[in-house]
Structure 1
Amino acid sequence: MSNSISLIAILSLFTLLPFIIASGTYFIKFSIVFVIVRNALGLQQVPSNMTLNGVALLLSMFVMMPVGKEIYYNSQNENLSFNNVASVVNFVETGMSGYKSYLIKYSEPELVNFFEKIQKVNSSEDNEEIFDDDNISIFSLLPAYALSEIKSAFIIGFYIYLPFVVVDLVISSVSVNVRYDDDESGNHIYTDKINFVCRDGRLDNVIKRTHFTIF
């Protein structure tokens, strides 16, 4: 019976693992930013979604490695047993302190308090209290962290997108002046956007190249 319970717990953990990785790590930020950059370049299929997700996953593993190591060492020291419910609950509350600290660090306090109040709205506790880091539930931190990372990713994507908008405007205005058709103008835009990336985002080089190419 105990082996069956342990097997069910392990299978449940592995079932939830992809969702935790997608929404509870840096993967959510990397994946959004990469898609925004691809759209800014005007490339719909290059790199492919699998490539972008693979790179985002590798970078997320690198960033989250210290947190993962701490969780692993805590599980070894506390003798985590999936046969004992109390052991699992204790590990989530104490053994994952490093991951919990990570979530607190990168979550907006307003969102954390919002989800914590919603979670305790039906309890007898005072909902107006200011929650301490030690008392915050990890189930309140996860949605707060996900929304915070999405907001942060869109802010980063906005600043990355702006230079490519400038490139579009420059190429479009020059193309109108020399009366290029839409196909030629589009080819120049794609070429100069890629050139913009290859030159580490130096807009002056793109403008010079455009000037010499057209004139």
Structure 2
Amino acid sequence: MTERRCGPWLACALVLLLAAPAVWAQAPGGAAPAGALPLVIGSGPGGASYSVPIQTLLFFTALSFLPAVLLMMTGFTRIVIVLSLLRQAIGTQQAPPNQVVVGLSLFLTMFVMGPTLDRVYQEAYVPYTANEITFEQAAQRAEVPMRGFMLKQTRQSDFALFARLAKLEPNVTAETAPLRVLVPAFVTSELKSAFQIGFMIFIPFLIIDMVVSSVLMSLGMMMLSPVLVALPFKLMLFVLADGWNLLIGSLAASFAT
């Protein structure tokens, strides 16, 4: 999670914040120019304390990184890809709609990530709100359960690929590697797992398409679309087999915890 602070926008904001006291120090008495917004309202042993507007700016800048964290460091990627492939396998273009697919993926991700998020809350957020630890210490504590979750889903071959590209030392393992190496390795493994599951989903629906196409050709109905005829059979098969229960249960169980 500490990797998020390295984003370009936040980096620019931090550079401006660090440069501002030096500029103001050139003014008489070290005060801010007339009409300027005060960035630093005080300093002490713990460092500078920024004003409320600047804290708000930093807060909303950090919020812009949340979608990337959700996509790249949780099981959301695997779930949303599998559900999208299911929709294509059945042949329904807009059913369920994108909002339903994304919403279901989000809540299923929260369910899968529940134990990990509970650890982050108890070990990092609660002590930080109680002023027992600093923000940097809270970020380090929050990184531990997230790293543990990603390590369980990451294939060794994928990690070795990015470790080689990053030119890490041979003694660096997945447990000690920086997040800039672990996160892309985790995402690559998630993509591979998602397409493997999608392949298994496609097989029964592909068989139905082949059977319907063969029957229509044998009957000489060349002008009738096999997709239109196969769709109700696919829906019937999926409903009779309790497909949603099987698929969502298998997805949740596919994450190593």
Question: Out of 145, 148, 159, which is 1:112 matched to?
Answer: 159
Q: Give the gaps of 5 or more residues in structure 1.
A: 122-126, 203-215
Q: Choose the corresponding residue for 1:174, options 209, 215, 226.
A: 215
What's the TM-score, normalizing by structure 1? 0.79
Residue 231 of structure 2 is matched in structure 1 by: 190
Q: What is the rounded CA distance, in whole Å, between the counterparts of 1:89 and 1:140 in structure 2?
A: 20
CA drift at 1:81: 9.8
Structure with the higher fraction of residues in helix conformation: 1
Match of 2:101 among 48, 52, 74: 52
Partner of 1:209: none
In the aligned structure 1, how far is the partner of 2:138 from the partner of 2:181?
Answer: 17
Shift of 1:189: 0.6
SS at match of 2:118: helix
**How far apart, CA to CA, are the structure 2 residues paired with 1:117 and 1:76?**
35
- The alignment status of 1:100 with 2:147, answered yes or no, reads yes
Amino acid at match of 2:141: T
The one-letter amino acid paired with 2:113 is M
Q: Cα offset for 1:33?
A: 0.7
Structure 1 residues 75 and 188 mapped into 2: Cα distance closer, same or farther (>3 Å)? Answer: same
Which is further off, 133-142 or 27-36? 133-142
Unaligned segments of structure 2, at least 5 residues? 1-39, 41-48, 244-257
* Alignment match, 1:136: 177
Match of 2:113 among 51, 64, 74: 64
SS at match of 2:241: coil
2:195 alignment counterpart = 154
1:107/1:184 Cα in 2 relative to 1: closer, same or farther (>3 Å)?
closer
Q: In the alignment, residue 144 of structure 2 is paired with which amino acid?
A: S
| Superposed CA RMSD | 2.6
Moved more, 64-73 or 105-114: 105-114
Q: CA–CA distance in 2 between the matches of 1:186 and 1:180?
A: 13
- Identity among equivalent positions (%) equals 25
- Count, aligned residues: 193
Per-residue deviation, 1:48: 1.0
CA displacement at 1:146 relative to structure 2 = 0.8
Match of residue 21 from structure 1: 70
TM-score normalised by L of structure 2 = 0.67
